[in-house]
């Protein structure tokens, strides 16, 4: 059994790598075509375009991993079935349960690699890509309203006119209220730079204080300001929730919850990040029944086409379940797990059907 598992692993890893490289080349070409529309804006030259496309590749690796594993496993198993090798394995005692167990052990490496890309590589590469792009164009990261970006921080409302690509802030207004929701002070700072330990260094500060004795104004060249607002939270403005790390999603979700703001989108994204790597095992289980279908009932091309369609369907359903979950107020865990559960049920039904035949 060890020899068979090693042989299966070699075939599946080689086929999956080939499929993944092909997909990455295709998506990189699409990204290049899209970025050429912005060529020449500011200092956004060709070398920055190519570097942006390169930094976007880890995100594509993470997104395409289950689809590549599905097509690669399907191709490898179908090739073995076409050459009657899989038939010999079955005659030698390879039961469907043993084959499934072997695929799980083979697929663990896919789970680990997908998790590593999703947590360690993609968030940093995506943030670096966006910072490179915005910095070359001399653009700002966020300016959601005409008045800038608004954030709630405990008893304070913070208005930031611009968030720069280096996470520095400009045009900061801090409205502080007391426990009875009466305005206590308004602070304005021309610029803010993050230091450490949730502390910002504000420059050119003007503070207006309201109390029973009247209004007072004070001016400071520099001052420190402690806030739960950090560059990690601001990275939400740079990176899509689906490409953020679980830690950043958890921190931002907790921040929104503490300030009584909606968290559904980020909770769903966090659960998807936790469950998505295991979708590679579901895709391998979905590919297993194709090994039991004789080549006369469907050529190799038909099987590969079926794998591509199933992969596209999974990708679409994965995004659709998140949107429906937000609209229908589903529990975040169920919204994130629904696509994998449905496809796992489909794999079990397909395996049951081929066994009965």
Q: What is the DSSP string of 118-174?
A: IIIIHHHHHHHHHHHHHHHHT--SB--BTTBEEEEETTEEEEEEEE-TTS-EEEEEE
CA 56 centroid distance within chain: 12
Residues in Cβ contact with 165 at an 8 Å cutoff, skipping those fewer than 6 apart: 130, 131, 134, 135, 139, 140, 141
pLDDT at 56: 93
**For the chain, which residues make up each domain, given as ranges?**
2-138+262-356, 149-237
Structure tokens at 93: 């005692």
User: Is the pLDDT confidence value at 27 over 70?
Assistant: yes
Question: How would residue 101 be classed by pLDDT, with cut points 50, 70 and 90?
Answer: confident
- What average pLDDT does the segment 206-231 reach? 85
Average confidence (pLDDT) over 29-50: 89
Structure tokens at 291: 């090994």
Q: Can you give the pLDDT at residue 231?
A: 76
d(Cα 189, Cα 95) in Å, to the nearest integer? Answer: 70
CATH code of domain 149-237: 2.30.30
Q: Among 63-67, 139-143, 281-285, 309-313, whose mean pLDDT is lowest?
A: 139-143
pLDDT of residue 297: 47
* Token pair for 8: 């299966």
Mean pLDDT of the chain: 84
Specify the residue for token string 């086929």.
Answer: 15
Q: Looking at residues 146-173, what average pLDDT do you find?
A: 78
The more confidently predicted of residues 231 and 237 is 231
For 286-313, how does the pLDDT look when each residue is reduced to its tens digit (9 = 90+)? Answer: 888 877 766 554 567 777 788 888 888 9
Q: For residue 233, what pLDDT is reported? A: 67
Average pLDDT over every residue of 280-284: 93
Q: What is the mean pLDDT of residues 313-330?
A: 86
| Greatest CA separation for the chain | 93
Please report, rounded to a whole number, the percentage of residues in the chain having pLDDT higher than 90: 30
Q: Please say whether the beta carbons of 281 and 106 come within 8 A.
A: no
pLDDT of residue 299: 65
């Amino acid at each position: 059994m060890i020899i068979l598992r090693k042989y299966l692993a070699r075939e599946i890893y080689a086929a999956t790598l080939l499929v993944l490289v092909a997909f990455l080349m295709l998506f990189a070409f699409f990204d290049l075509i899209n970025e050429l529309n912005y060529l020449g804006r500011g200092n956004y030259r060709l070398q920055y375009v190519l570097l942006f496309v390169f930094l976007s590749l880890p995100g594509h690796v993470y997104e395409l991993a289950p689809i590549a594993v599905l097509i690669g496993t399907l191709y490898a198993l179908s090739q073995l079935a076409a050459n009657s090798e899989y038939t010999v394995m079955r005659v030698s005692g390879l039961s469907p349960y043993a084959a499934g167990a072997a695929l799980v052990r083979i697929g663990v490496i896919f789970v680990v690699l997908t998790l590593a890309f999703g947590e360690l590589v993609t968030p940093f590469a995506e943030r670096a890509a966006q910072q490179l792009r915005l910095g070359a164009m001399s653009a700002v990261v966020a300016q959601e309203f005409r008045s800038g970006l608004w954030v709630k921080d405990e008893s304070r409302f913070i208005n930031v006119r611009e968030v720069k690509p280096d996470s520095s802030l400009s045009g900061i207004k801090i409205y502080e209220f007391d426990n009875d929701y009466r305005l206590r002070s308004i602070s304005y700072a021309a610029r803010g730079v993050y230091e450490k330990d949730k502390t910002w260094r504000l420059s050119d500060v003007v503070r207006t204080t309201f109390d029973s004795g009247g209004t007072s104004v004070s001016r400071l060249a520099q001052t420190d300001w402690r806030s739960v607002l950090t560059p990690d939270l601001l990275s939400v403005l740079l990176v899509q929730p689906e490409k953020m790390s679980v830690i950043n999603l958890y921190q931002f979700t907790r921040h929104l919850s503490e300030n009584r703001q909606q968290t559904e989108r980020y909770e769903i994204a966090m659960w998807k990040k936790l469950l998505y790597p295991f979708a590679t095992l579901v895709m391998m289980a979905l590919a297993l029944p194709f090994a039991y279908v004789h080549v006369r009932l469907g050529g190799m091309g038909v099987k590969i086409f079926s794998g591509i369609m199933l992969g596209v369907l999974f990708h679409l359903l994965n995004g659709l379940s998140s949107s429906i979950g937000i609209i229908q107020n589903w529990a975040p865990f169920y919204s994130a797990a629904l696509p994998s559960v449905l496809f796992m049920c489909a794999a079990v039904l397909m395996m049951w059907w081929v066994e009965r035949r």
